[in-house]
Amino acid sequence: MPGDEGADQTLPRFAALVLEVVQRVPPGRVLTYGDVAEYLGEGGPRQVGSVLSRYGSDVPWWRVLRADGTPAPQVRARALDHYVTEGTPLRRAGDRVDLRRARWHGDAG
DNA sequence: GCAATGACTGGTA
DNA sequence: TTACCAGCCATTG
């Protein structure tokens, strides 16, 4: 298959991969930046965050957060609003996601 | 081609 | 629990 790129036109390769994964995360579930990088098998957490910062506006970016269950500071308020709307498991304090229950384990479950 | 940047992470105090 | 540090790596100027 010649030139198997296509798909995401002007987006960098890694960015396209990240966006694909984020779009597959079902409502009420989340992944950490590190999880996405590991799922792709390349890049790192910072790259994932960087991609969402630049191109994440068209995907459910709030379903990707830090390893401690807190979203990025600049989008914290909006992210928390989505969690409540989607019924994402939150901790008692309600200001961070309960990763133990909310973390998405891929299509397998 | 090189240096700087950043929606991160895990360890230590 | 919070605070700080060094490592990490694709993308950008």
The DSSP 8-state label assigned to residue A28 in this structure reads T
For residue A94, give the CATH number of its domain.
Answer: 1.10.10.10
Distance between the two ends of chain A, CA-based, in angstroms? 32
CA-only gyration radius of chain A, Å: 14
- pLDDT for res A3: 42
Number of domains in chain A: 1
Determine the nucleotide nearest to A51 by Cα–C1' distance. Answer: B7
In a domain, A50, yes or no: yes
Distance CA A109, CA A105 (A): 5
Q: Do residues A49 and A55 touch, judged by C-beta distance below 8 A? A: no
Q: What is the pLDDT of residue A8?
A: 59
Give every residue of chain A whose pLDDT is below 50, as ranges: 2-6
Rounded Cα gap, residues A86 and A6, in angstroms: 33
Which nucleotides of chain C have an atom under 7 angstroms from any protein CB?
Answer: 7-12
Closest nucleotide over all strands to A56 (CA to C1'): B7
Which residue range is the domain that position A55 belongs to? 5-102
